[in-house]
């Protein structure tokens, strides 16, 4: 079983819809990251969370440490939001540095 699971894998929605992408993890973490990857491949960091909620423009990220679950919400979605959204965690404790990634959610927003 993957340590970081995202759902859904694929999501197609109409412009203006409220979007939710979910991430569950099974390891202890010090932080959770949400990343965006556009066609063409570049990866951009959206949020880093260790507790609570963060908002940036139309994007909102929440995390529930007790339930080991995070959500990324997009309000008033727009075709330019079409991308792959990736959840990644930084493990707590010792061991290798770096992030453990989910497989990503491929989001398409249709006009």
Partner 1 sequence: NAGVTQTPKFQVLKTGQSMTLQCAQDMNHNSMYWYRQDPGMGLRLIYYSASEGTTDKGEVPNGYNVSRLNKREFSLRLESAAPSQTSVYFCASSVSNRESGYTFGSGTRLTVV
Q: Which residues pair with 52 in a beta bridge?
A: 63
Question: What is the spatial distance between Cα 66 and Cα 22, in angstroms, rounded to a whole number?
Answer: 15
Which of 39, 42, 57, 111 is in the footprint of partner 1 by CB under 8 A? 42
Site for partner 1 in 52-91 (CB under 8 A): 86, 88, 90
Question: What is the spatial distance between Cα 61 and Cα 40, in angstroms, rounded to a whole number?
Answer: 24
Task: For partner 1, give the closer residue by CB, 4 or 19.
Answer: 4
Provide Rg for the chain, Cα atoms. 14
Contact between 97 and partner 1 per CB under 8 A: yes
Which of 43, 64, 108, 110 is in the footprint of partner 1 by CB under 8 A? 43
Element (H, E) at 55: strand 52-56
Which residues contact partner 1 (rule: CB under 8 A)? Answer: 2, 4, 30-31, 33, 35, 41-45, 48, 50, 86, 88, 90, 92, 96-104
């Amino acid at each position: 079983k993957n340590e970081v699971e995202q759902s859904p894998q694929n999501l197609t929605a109409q412009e203006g819809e409220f979007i939710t992408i979910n991430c569950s993890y099974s390891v202890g973490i010090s932080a959770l990251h949400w990343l965006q990857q556009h066609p063409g491949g570049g990866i951009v960091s959206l949020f880093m969370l260790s507790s609570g909620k963060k908002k940036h423009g139309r994007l909102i990220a929440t995390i529930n440490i007790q339930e080991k679950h995070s959500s990324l919400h997009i309000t008033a979605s727009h075709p330019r939001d079409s991308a792959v959204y990736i959840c990644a965690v930084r493990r707590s404790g010792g061991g290798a540095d770096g992030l453990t990634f989910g497989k990503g959610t491929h989001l398409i927003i249709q006009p």
